[in-house]
Structure 1
């Protein structure tokens, strides 16, 4: 397949393929933009049906990281990595070390971290081969709780905008995907009085969350259509599409999944149906904010990371208010804010180069 003709290609600076026959590593790194700084984004391991699906995913994810890092006020560009394979079956320490060598070969243009299918223990193996890695257990650790915190605060901001109160008692939330982020989000919602409907492709995950929270378990294929107040997609992307949007009964869509909109036009489709959409790359930025603190000159400070993540709620409130004021979708407002910061940085860099 041609990367340049892929629908997800959006002026990406580089797309690099890595292969290590000895360990079975097949990986792709996409660098979307390094205008704001080195490309930062997690590494995802997933059993893609084919290489084309992996390329499409990594291109979309890398672009999302550019916007996420810009909106979070971080001096990082956008990048992402994917490893083709089943994380539960195929992943080995040797494979992760091979991935570390692949990252090292990019000479700091890409800084990796954990994502779906990859944890802090895997990053420890990567770290043996490269220093261009964040989210290590001995420093900032697993970013998932910070991602979940940001989503939790974003949900409360959405409730405040839509209902005039951020109170969760009696609110029903459908959480789709119970990995590290989804499970932590479910815990926070339950502790705040919300009723839960949950779904995951892994039965052990739903069993654990249901036992801890009393959540009702449904099939992942239909959870978007549940009669709930908030739908929180926390698994893979493209769940907001021509098929699902007409079936959504929730008044708010706010979750941790990346690239929730199958196409940009689906933001307008949601708005026209009266659904308040929390742009995914804004609400789910808690994890990258946390690891950015680790990368800073003062070193990691959990209190500082938490304080920065708490700003996500305020950012969401500004986006909702601006969308209501202008008639634009929340996605259009967020994109414009991120693009303004990127343009300003590009102009500043161009002026410095010309001096």
Structure 2
């Protein structure tokens, strides 16, 4: 199944039918702490599943199930395309992290992850931070993305943003010419960043350094205040709609998923779409609409794998220099995806899926032989 195909929000669907691709889906409940969580393991063909824990106030359990299944599938593709010996998994904790998160809840969650015996490694995602991973690690050994003080990689958004920037250079070169990841390809270009939280803020720094003109938006006012303080040259607009209405050269969705809808694609002036958000395509067919409009789309799970690379490096004993060198390869991977898309006459999202699926088949088959 193409990673561009989102899971339909379940109504009366059987969970087995909904998660038919997945190896395991675990529901976690601890009434004492208020924990309600779901862990989804999509594939361990290439190795143990690794993926962050998202803490979010979902409107319903059904929405949480749909999201965790989508996200975990994406992690399988992301790890495969990044060349990692890891499978795909994800977890969601249901609730508002600003009011529900506590040491007791995080430690209860850690005990659930520990019970999976290493089939799933957790890390940070929306609503969770390295300090939270330290609490989880008090009950669980299968944790990455810990604070530097505890021997971890720290904030994984650093290399997530760096990887998106590297992928953006490759996409910009495909759109306007250039080579060798020269930042000059972005100089003077107007780049719109939707979402300037953990990842988007770091991405803005790379873009400003490259000489791009940057306009941003975010639903959280403090995030915009921080951008104003750190980057006075950056323009701030009040909404995503106002951002998209700008004469953008590059659009970088860096908030939650489903950012590329029919309406957004129709309004976009950008020649390049490259951002950090997961599952950006609202439905199958959006990637073709982008291609038909001449937009170079850098598939999300291709360019946003820097954070995964960063936290995965902890499993070897973390080296920022080694992880950054690996994340710099996102430029080459993005270029390979775009070249395959051009040669095969398919959308970049399809080309990325093909490369990831080939590695999962070929290497997964080889790994299975050695494990017998």
Q: Give the TM interval when normalised to the shorter protein.
A: over 0.9
**1:141 maps to 2:154:** yes
**1:319 maps to 2:326:** no
Superposed counterparts of 1:298-337, under 5 Å: 299-337=317-355
Of structures 1 and 2, the one scoring higher in RCO (CA 8 A, sep 6+) is 2
Verify the 8 A CA contact 1:25 1:83 in the aligned structure 2: yes
Superposed counterparts of 1:245-324, under 5 Å: 245-296=265-316, 299-324=317-342
Verify the 8 A CA contact 2:194 2:253 in the aligned structure 1: yes
Question: How far, CA to CA, are the matches of 2:122 and 2:368 in structure 1?
Answer: 27
Partner SS state of residue 25, structure 2: strand
Query: Residue 158 of structure 1: CA displacement?
Result: 1.0
Question: How far, CA to CA, are the matches of 2:26 and 2:173 in structure 1?
Answer: 43
Matching residue of 1:199:
217
Query: Residue 101 of structure 1: CA displacement?
Result: 0.8
Question: How far, CA to CA, are the matches of 2:118 and 2:369 in structure 1?
Answer: 24
Partner SS state of residue 4, structure 1: helix
Q: 2:236 aligns with which of 203, 212, 217?
A: 217
**1:108 maps to 2:118:** yes
Q: 1:4 aligns with which of 16, 30, 46?
A: 16
Question: How far, CA to CA, are the matches of 2:85 and 2:295 in structure 1?
Answer: 32
Question: How far, CA to CA, are the matches of 1:346 and 1:187 in structure 2?
Answer: 38
Q: Deviations over 1:63-82 (max 9, x none)?
A: 00000000011111000000
Question: How far, CA to CA, are the matches of 2:227 and 2:47 in structure 1?
Answer: 38
**1:190 maps to 2:208:** yes
Matching residue of 1:18:
28
Verify the 8 A CA contact 2:46 2:367 in the aligned structure 1: no
Query: Residue 143 of structure 1: CA displacement?
Result: 0.8
**1:236 maps to 2:218:** no
Question: How far, CA to CA, are the matches of 2:301 and 2:272 in structure 1?
Answer: 16
**1:27 maps to 2:37:** yes
Verify the 8 A CA contact 1:174 1:230 in the aligned structure 2: yes
Matching residue of 2:4:
none
202-211 vs 274-283, greater mean Cα deviation? 202-211
Verify the 8 A CA contact 2:194 2:240 in the aligned structure 1: no
**1:227 maps to 2:242:** no
Partner SS state of residue 133, structure 1: coil
Q: Deviations over 1:34-54 (max 9, x none)?
A: 111111000011111111111
Partner SS state of residue 30, structure 1: strand
Verify the 8 A CA contact 1:225 1:244 in the aligned structure 2: no
Q: In structure 1, list runs of 5 or more residues that go unmatched.
A: none
Matching residue of 1:66:
76
Question: How far, CA to CA, are the matches of 2:240 and 2:324 in structure 1?
Answer: 34
Partner SS state of residue 328, structure 1: coil
Matching residue of 1:151:
164
Question: How far, CA to CA, are the matches of 2:259 and 2:53 in structure 1?
Answer: 21
Verify the 8 A CA contact 2:218 2:240 in the aligned structure 1: no
Question: How far, CA to CA, are the matches of 2:281 and 2:349 in structure 1?
Answer: 10
Question: How far, CA to CA, are the matches of 2:104 and 2:368 in structure 1?
Answer: 42
Aligned residues: 350
Question: How far, CA to CA, are the matches of 2:75 and 2:196 in structure 1?
Answer: 22
Verify the 8 A CA contact 1:181 1:234 in the aligned structure 2: yes
Partner SS state of residue 16, structure 2: coil
Question: How far, CA to CA, are the matches of 1:44 and 1:115 in structure 2?
Answer: 5
Matching residue of 1:172:
190
17-26 vs 239-248, greater mean Cα deviation? 239-248
